[in-house]
Structure 1
Amino acid sequence: IVGGRVPSYLGSSFSFIAVVIAATGFSGKGLNPHIDVALGGIIAAGVVYGIIALIVIFVGYRWIEYLMPPAVTGVVVAVIGLNLAPVAIGEAATSQFDTWMALITILAVALVAVYAPGPLRRLPILLGGIIGYLIYLIFANGFSLGKPIDFTNLGKAAWIGLPNFTGPSFHPGAMALIAPVAIILVAENLGHIKAVGAMTGRNLDKYLGRAFLGDAVATIISASGGGTGLTTYAENIGVMAVTRIYSTVIFIIAAVVAILLGFCPKFGALIATIPVGVLGGLTIVLFGLIAATGGRIWVQNRVDFSKSRNLVPAAVALTMGAGNFTINIAGFSLGGIGTATFSAIILYQLLRERQPQPEEA
C-alpha cells in the first residue's frame, strides 16, 4: 500500500487492552472466553481507521501538519517511549538479581553498539540480548544466584504446529466501545512515522494516508483470525534507531520469517525462556531511544522552547504520558499516550501564534 517507502513493522497496540477488557468483561485470569466479541470491535476500529486514512489520501495531509507541527509530534514520539518506561522498569526490578542482569544487558547493548567490529555493531539488541541471556544462564542455572531458566516447555514443544485461529462476532455495544480507539491509532502511527522520518532524514508525510490505510487493513485482517489491533510497533523504531538500518526489504524478510516462526511452537517456547531481567534491560534501551527520538525531532526542526506556546503543551503532555494520565468516559478509557497526544494538540492550537506577542516581539 505504501509502495515500500515506509520502513515500518506492525505489532499489537496497547491502546486496545482497556476497551477489550471492558467490552468482554474479562477477569484477567486465563484465556478470555469472549475474545470473539472483542475481535468484532477491533474490526470496527479498523474500518473507522480506514475511513480516516481515505480522507487523508484524498484531502491531503496538510491539515495533519497544521494540527501536529514538530513541537507537537516531538512530544507524541517522546511520550510513547516514556509511557512504556514503567513496563521496562517493572521487568528490570522483578528481583535484585534481575536488576543486575538488566544492567548487565544494558551495558552489553551499549558496548556492542559502540565497540563491536564492522556489521556486528548494527546488531546491538540481538547480540546484547544473547550476551545477557548467557550471563544469566551461567549465574542462575550454574551458580544458583537467581531463578533458573526452565527449559521444560522448550523440550516438550513441537517443531512444527498450526496456530490457533478464532473468528469474530459482532455486537453493537462492543463495537461502539472499541471503534473509537482508531483515533488513538492515528495519533500513534503519526508519531511513529514522524519518528522514522526524523531517523531517516526523509519527509514521509505524503505517505501518511497510505500508511494509515495499511495499518487499518492489517488490523482488520488480524482481528478476523483472532489477532490483536495493530499499530506501527514502537519497539522496532527503537531497533532502527540503534542499527540505523531502514531498508524496507528487511521488513519484508522479517515479515516472512515471523510468519514461518508462527508455525514453530519450539521457537515460541525458546522465546518464552528469556529471563525477565534480560527483557527489562533490552526494553529500557529501546523505549529510551524512542523517547530520545522525540527530542531529536525538536532539535532538527529547531523548536524554540523559550516560547511558552511551545513549552507549555510539551510540559503538560510529557507529564501526562509519563504518568499514564487516564480518562474514563462512559466505559471508554483513554490512556496516557492518548491523553498526552490530545492535550498537546489542543493546547498548542489554543496557544499557537496568530499575531506577535509582546514577550516575543
Structure 2
Amino acid sequence: MEWLKNYFPRYTLNVSGGLVNPTERLPVGETVFLSLQHVLAMFGSTVVGPLLMGFNPNTALFFSGVGTILFYICTGGRVPSYVGSSFAFIGVVNSATGFKYTPGGPGNPNVPLAAGGILVAGAIYFAVAVIVMVAGYRWIEVVMPPVVTGAVVVAIGLNLAGAALSQASASGFDAWMAFTTVIAVSLITMYAPGPLRRLPILLGGITGYLVHLILGYCGVGPGIDFTAVKNSKWFGMPPTHVPVFEGSAISLIAPVALVLVVENTGHVKAVGAMTGHSLDKYMGRAFLGDALATMVSASCGSTGVTTYAENIGVMSITKIFSTQTFLFASIVAIVLGVIPGFGAIIQTIPSGVFGGLSIILFGLIAVTGARIWVTSNVDFSRPRNLITAGVSVVLGCGMVNGLVVSFGVVKIDGIGCSTLAAIILYQILREDWGDVFRAMIGKAKKGKGANPIMMVADPPKDDLDLPISTSRRASSDVEEIDARRPSMNEKSHQE
C-alpha cells in the first residue's frame, strides 16, 4: 500500500513568490482567491457552451466541479487542469437535435438524445485512455509530436479569437470596456504589489465590471440589467436527464472523442512547456480523468467536458500550477451550481468585459502553442513541419461561424479539421519511411511483434522527465534519436 500513500502529492508550502509547481501550494488565503480567479476564467465558457446547445448552465457548472475532482483523482493531483463544457460538441449536438439558440428562448427539448451521443463519445475516449495507460504514451509522440500539438493549440486559440472579438465589439461602448479590461489586466500583471499580481484575471474583471457599472449609473453607457438576479432562486439542485441512445445522433456526436484527445494532449503539453518539465507520463491518466468526467456529466444529461485552455491561460500569467488550487475551484463550482442566483449575477458581466478577458486568455493559448514549437526546437526550414503547421493553423482560423466538413451524418468543425490535417500531413511527409520499411522487414525476419514505427520514432526511455526544451530535436525521427544519445551518455558519465 506504499504506492497509495504516495499517489497524491504531499504539498510543500511555496512562499518564494516565484513559479509554483503542481506539487507545491500557497497559503490558504491566496489559494482561495486563486481558485476564484480560475472559476471566473472558466465560468464564461462553462455557462455559454451549454446555453448554445440548450443545456442547463447550472447543471454544467455543477458537473464541471465534479469532473475536475475526478480528473484530480485519476491524475493523482499531478496535472493542473480544470475541466469544463467542451465547445467541440456545439456544432454536432445542434445538428443532431435540430436546436438553435435564441437569447431568452426555451432550452433544447432533445437534451437526452444529445446526452446519449456524448456518453458514447466519453466511452470511446475512455477506451483510448486505457490503451495509452497499457501501451504507454509514446505512440502519441509518434502520431502527435510537438509540431502537431503546437499547431493544434495555436489553432484552438485563434479559432476562438472571433468569439472574443464579437463580445468585445458588440457596441462601441463594449469596445472601450474591452480595452479598459485588457489594460487593467496588463497593469495588474506587471505592477500590482505582492500577491495581487497573481490575480490579474479576477481583479481585471472586477475592475472592468465596476467601471462599466459606474459609467452606467452616470448615464455615459448602458446600465447593467439585474432583472435575472431578482427573479432567480438562491438555492436549488440543477435539473438532470436520462440519456437516450439513437443511432444517427451517436454517429454524429461520438467522433468528437478524437478532438477531446487532441485538446487534452495539447493542454498537457502546454502546461508541461510552461513548467519546464514534461507531464507526458501522466497522459493516459489525464485522458482517463477527462473521459470519466464526460461520462458522468452525460449520464446526468449535461455536456461533455474537456480540460480548459482558459485556465491554462491563467496559469501562464500567474506562474502558479498548484493542483490544490483546482480542488478549491471545483468545490466552488459545485456550490455555485446549486445557487442559481450567483450564476445569474455572473451572467450580468457585460459583453465588453468578457470580451477583454477573452482576448487575453485566447491570445495566451495561441502563443502557448507557439511556445511548444520554440521549446521543442521545431525546425520550420523543413517542409514537413512547415506544411503541417501552416495548413493546420489556417484551417483552425478559417473554419469558424458554423463552417464544417460533412461526411454523411458526420460533421467536423475547424478544430477537428485542423487536428486531422496536422496528424495526417505529418505522417504522410515523413522523411524516414525507408528506415520504417527496413525496420518492418527486419522485425518480420526476426519474428518479433514490436511496432516498427514506434521503434524508429520513439525517444529513449531516459528522457521521461527531461524538460520539454530538451526532449525533442529538429532532425528527422531517426536522426533525432541518434543525436540525443551522446548527450545522455555524457550525462551518465557525469553521474
TM range (shorter): over 0.9
Structure 1 position 232, deviation (Å) = 0.5
Q: Deviations over 1:120-163 (max 9, x none)?
A: 10110000000011111111x22223221011222333322221
Instruction: Provide the residue aligned with 1:226 in structure 2.
Output: 301
Give the Cα separation in 2 of the matches to 1:240 and 1:331: 38
Which of 192, 206, 230 does residue 281 from structure 2 map onto?
206
Counterpart of 2:75 in 1: which secondary structure? coil
Structure 1 position 195, deviation (Å) = 0.8
Q: How does 1:156-167 map to 2 (within 5 A)?
A: 156-167=231-242
Which of 317, 325, 330 does residue 392 from structure 2 map onto?
317
Give the Cα separation in 1 of the matches to 2:341 and 2:303: 22
Checking the alignment, whether the CA contact within 8 Å between 2:251 and 2:409 is kept in structure 1 is: no
Q: How does 1:4-15 map to 2 (within 5 A)?
A: 4-15=77-88
Which of 410, 419, 430 does residue 332 from structure 1 map onto?
410
Give the Cα separation in 1 of the matches to 2:232 and 2:254: 37
Give the Cα separation in 1 of the matches to 2:240 and 2:110: 14
Give the Cα separation in 2 of the matches to 1:322 and 1:26: 25
Q: How does 1:144-155 map to 2 (within 5 A)?
A: 144-155=219-230
Give the Cα separation in 1 of the matches to 2:118 and 2:234: 31
**Structure 2 unaligned spans of 5+:** 1-73, 435-475, 477-495
Give the Cα separation in 1 of the matches to 2:356 and 2:149: 27
Structure 1 position 355, deviation (Å) = 7.8
Give the Cα separation in 2 of the matches to 1:352 and 1:241: 33
Query: Aligned Cα RMSD in Å?
Result: 1.6
Instruction: Provide the residue aligned with 2:66 in structure 1.
Output: none
Which of 135, 145, 149 does residue 69 from structure 1 map onto?
145
Structure 1 stretch 11-20 or stretch 109-118: which is displaced more?
Answer: 11-20
Counterpart of 2:76 in 1: which secondary structure? coil
Instruction: Provide the residue aligned with 1:347 in structure 2.
Output: 425
Give the AA of the match of 2:174: D
Instruction: Provide the residue aligned with 1:135 in structure 2.
Output: 211
Checking the alignment, whether the CA contact within 8 Å between 1:22 and 1:331 is kept in structure 2 is: no
Q: How does 1:252-271 map to 2 (within 5 A)?
A: 252-271=327-346
Matched, 1:96 2:169: no
Checking the alignment, whether the CA contact within 8 Å between 2:248 and 2:409 is kept in structure 1 is: no
Matched, 1:57 2:133: yes
| More RCO (CA 8 Å, sep 6+) | 1
**Structure 1 unaligned spans of 5+:** none
Give the AA of the match of 1:144: G
Matched, 1:112 2:112: no
Checking the alignment, whether the CA contact within 8 Å between 2:388 and 2:422 is kept in structure 1 is: yes
Give the Cα separation in 2 of the matches to 1:153 and 1:23: 30
Checking the alignment, whether the CA contact within 8 Å between 1:82 and 1:287 is kept in structure 2 is: yes
Structure 1 position 263, deviation (Å) = 1.2
Q: Deviations over 1:37-80 (max 9, x none)?
A: 10011101111110111111111111110111111111111111
Give the AA of the match of 1:150: D
Give the AA of the match of 2:99: F
Give the Cα separation in 2 of the matches to 1:207 and 1:99: 41
- Give the TM-score normalised by the residue count of structure 1: 0.96
Q: How does 1:243-254 map to 2 (within 5 A)?
A: 243-254=318-329
Checking the alignment, whether the CA contact within 8 Å between 1:97 and 1:145 is kept in structure 2 is: no
Which of 277, 286, 305 does residue 380 from structure 2 map onto?
305
Give the Cα separation in 1 of the matches to 2:342 and 2:101: 26
Task: Report how many aligned residue pairs link the two structures.
Answer: 357
Counterpart of 2:160 in 1: which secondary structure? helix
Structure 1 position 331, deviation (Å) = 2.3
Q: Deviations over 1:317-338 (max 9, x none)?
A: 1111111263111122211111
Give the Cα separation in 1 of the matches to 2:264 and 2:233: 36
Counterpart of 1:52 in 2: which secondary structure? helix
Checking the alignment, whether the CA contact within 8 Å between 2:178 and 2:354 is kept in structure 1 is: yes
Counterpart of 1:328 in 2: which secondary structure? strand
Which of 64, 81, 89 does residue 16 from structure 1 map onto?
89
Which of 316, 336, 354 does residue 279 from structure 1 map onto?
354
Checking the alignment, whether the CA contact within 8 Å between 2:164 and 2:355 is kept in structure 1 is: yes
Runs of 4+ in structure 1 off by over 4 angstroms are: none
Structure 1 stretch 224-233 or stretch 27-36: which is displaced more?
Answer: 27-36
Task: Decide whether aligned partners of structure 1 residues 36 and 189 sit closer, same or farther in structure 2, where only a CA change above 3 A counts.
Answer: same
Task: Decide whether aligned partners of structure 1 residues 289 and 268 sit closer, same or farther in structure 2, where only a CA change above 3 A counts.
Answer: same
Give the Cα separation in 1 of the matches to 2:212 and 2:318: 24
Give the AA of the match of 1:7: P
Instruction: Provide the residue aligned with 2:75 in structure 1.
Output: 2
Which of 291, 295, 300 does residue 216 from structure 1 map onto?
291
Structure 1 position 351, deviation (Å) = 1.6
Task: Decide whether aligned partners of structure 1 residues 103 and 256 sit closer, same or farther in structure 2, where only a CA change above 3 A counts.
Answer: same
Give the Cα separation in 2 of the matches to 1:134 and 1:39: 38
Give the Cα separation in 2 of the matches to 1:73 and 1:18: 23
- Give the TM-score normalised by the residue count of structure 2: 0.70
Structure 1 stretch 160-169 or stretch 202-211: which is displaced more?
Answer: 160-169
Checking the alignment, whether the CA contact within 8 Å between 1:101 and 1:277 is kept in structure 2 is: yes
